[in-house]
Amino acid sequence: MSDHGFEAVRITDDVWWVGATDWEIRDFHGYATSRGTTYNAYLVMADKVTLLDTVKAPFRHEMMARIASVIDPKKVDYIVSHHTEMDHTGSLPETIRELEPEKVFASPMGVKALKAHFELEGVEPLKTGDDLSLGNRTLKLMETKMLHWPDSMVSYLVEEKLLFSQDGFGMHLASSERFADELDPAVLRSEAAKYYANILLPYSGLITGLLGTMQGLGLQVDVLCPDHGPVWRKGFDVIDWYGEWAQQKPTMKAVVTYATMWRSTEKMAHAAAEGLAASGASVKVLPVPPSHRSDVMTELLDAGGLLVGSPTINNNMFPTAADLLCYARGLKPKNLVGQVFGSYGWSGEACKQMGAELDGMGVERVGEPLRVNYVPTDADLVKCRELGTQVAQAMKEKAG
């Protein structure tokens, strides 16, 4: 038992999980992490003892204690940093100072990023196709530029058929169980979808390419070790899910999301949702607040329709609608049809502003923006319902 009560978890004969569990985190740079997360680091007990990634800075003591439960940390020969984002490198400089490894490796872009972040010198580059010999083990490197940073790479432990996939195939899920097959499959899919929608969605084309490359290389994966969430050792559902999500096929699911001040826009949202549902769409109605932007994005991952509503306040859309649209635009959801709606008192700029945002996202707009002065009448609500019907019809056509 280590001094701190933290122990490593054995993944295979020679590979140990030496990461950290962050039970408390509820906001990960704007993404609501309601189930916490883990920062996974792995120790390969090869001839050259190798640490793969580190953890967020405040968790260094936990990682060090887990390493110490396997081996004297001073005996770590190599450190490989797959990705510079600070949830994986925050403790790297101090770890290097303490362990004094023989060598530290990163991708060529990672070498630059580590210098920029921490003024780290002497990190050796590894590029796609390079094999890093650990003596009795071999680590094959593959850069995965823009999945999801330019420096990102993954590595494959040849003898154990084990893929260290970094952020890829990960999820924000803190658990005492270390393996996916010990956890509820519905929770796994839900958290993997949330991670994909909020981190990887803009890079779906690259994901399709990576899955094709893995298949083309005949890369057999017996164990999949991401840097967040559980390790997969059988039933690699997450790889199939990625194949599905990367396509972003048009579907008959619609998201109606809105901000409201005095519930007029809310009434419009409900009427539009009725029209969508009556025309065969499956509908999620998500007011912001209380719905979090990252949960709206998760619902958009497999949606074909998007209706966004907001009242006008001080010549602008409501701030929570602006927050959502700014966030969504960056994540570039595809294959959506939709429109905007909202109540207004006198100036009514919100619909124009939201419409421009939807156009920027590439949403195919159906019909006209629907504005209602102050409080919707019954006749206005009929129009909202008709907008829902129109959007559902367009979704049907797009989904084929």
Q: Dig out the tokens for 134 from the structure.
A: 């650990």
Q: Dig out the tokens for 196 from the structure.
A: 């994909």
Q: Dig out the tokens for 184 from the structure.
A: 């509820």
- By CB under 6 A, tell whether 167 contacts ligand FEO: yes
Specify whether 7 is catalytic. Answer: no
Q: Dig out the tokens for 4 from the structure.
A: 């701190």
- What DSSP element (H or E) covers 21? strand 20-22
From candidates 87, 191, 266, 299, binder to ligand FEO by CB under 6 A: 87
Query: At its nearest, how many Å lie between ligand FEO and the CB of residue 171?
Result: 11
Q: What burial letters (b/e) apply to 236-250, b meaning 16+ CB within 10 Å?
A: bebbebbeebbebeb
User: Among 144, 123, 6, which residue's Cα sits nearest to residue 62?
Assistant: 6
Choices 44-52, 79-87, 345-353, 386-394; region in contact with ligand FEO by CB under 6 A:
79-87
- By CB under 6 A, tell whether 194 contacts ligand FEO: no
Considering the candidates 13, 24, 29, 100, report the single residue annotated as catalytic: 29
- By CB under 6 A, tell whether 227 contacts ligand FEO: yes
- By CB under 6 A, tell whether 143 contacts ligand FEO: no
Work out the angle at residue 220's Cα, subtended by the Cα atoms of residues 216 and 223, and round it to the nearest 5 degrees: 135
- Interaction mask 275-314, ligand FEO, x per CB under 6 A: ----------------------------------------
Cα dihedral 221/227/233/238 (nearest 10): -80
- By CB under 6 A, tell whether 88 contacts ligand FEO: yes
User: Among 280, 255, 281, which residue's Cα sits nearest to residue 269?
Assistant: 255
Query: At its nearest, how many Å lie between ligand FEO and the CB of residue 296?
Result: 21
Considering the candidates 14, 87, 191, 357, report the single residue annotated as catalytic: 87
Nearer to ligand FEO, 41 or 76 (CB): 41
- By CB under 6 A, tell whether 191 contacts ligand FEO: no
CB contact set of 380 (below 8 Å; sequence gap of 6+):
268, 372
Binding site for ligand FEO (CB under 6 A): 83, 85, 87-88, 148, 167, 227-228
Mind telling me the catalytic residues? 29, 83, 85, 87, 148, 167, 195, 228
